Amino acid sequence: MTPEEREKLIDRYEIGPKLLREALERAPEEMRKWRPEPNEFSVHEVIVHCADSETNSHGRIRYIMTEDNATIIGYDPPVWAAAFYYVDHPLEAAMRTVEAVRANTVPIIRRASEEQWSHVGTHTEMGKYGAETWLEVYANHCYDHAKQIDAVVDAWRAAQA
């Protein structure tokens, strides 16, 4: 990955929470806990998942960039959603967590050296997992979930018709 490509991904990473918040705001409050299917996340649960994902990612990039062959532990989002009662978790606190974690991580990744970007660890589910892999994954995470929220809203509207 070139420094220019990396910078574009960092820009995408930085703007992610804004797009996620905008998607949340497009979701009518009365439908935010509605699920399109029993095993799919509601808008509310998507935001809480993002908060947990971001707090995991926050640590992951720090371990990858500072430790030799860091071990990155995977997790199962639906298991976490059930175990931690995402449906009852404070929505705004979760959204603010996403915003704060990203705001706290952007300066670190903008200052990272080429040597730090070359670090590679091992993800328990994905195998080889480097700093650039981390950036590719998380640069798209909020975008993907903003699209998911819009799809849930569309499905809810269709179900109401």
Ramachandran assignment for 89, one of left (phi > 0), alpha (psi -120 to 50 degrees), beta (any other): beta
- pLDDT digits over 93-144, tens only? 999 999 999 999 999 999 999 999 999 999 999 999 999 999 999 999 999 9
Nearest to 60 by CA among 145, 126, 148: 126
- pLDDT digits over 67-103, tens only? 999 999 999 999 999 999 999 999 999 999 999 999 9
Query: Average pLDDT for residues 42-70, to the nearest whole number?
Result: 96
pLDDT higher than 90, residue 15: yes
pLDDT higher than 90, residue 53: yes
What was the pLDDT predicted at 161? 87
Q: Which domains does the chain have, with CATH numbers?
A: 3-160 (1.20.120.450)
Whole-structure pTM value:
0.94
Enter the tokens of residue 131: 């700093």
pLDDT > 90 fraction of the chain, expressed in percent and rounded:
96
Query: Average pLDDT for residues 27-55, to the nearest whole number?
Result: 96
What is the 3 state secondary structure string of 72-109?
ECCCCHHHHHHHCCHHHCCHHHHHHHHHHHHHHHHHHH
Residue 1 banded pLDDT, cuts 50, 70, 90: confident
What was the pLDDT predicted at 22? 98
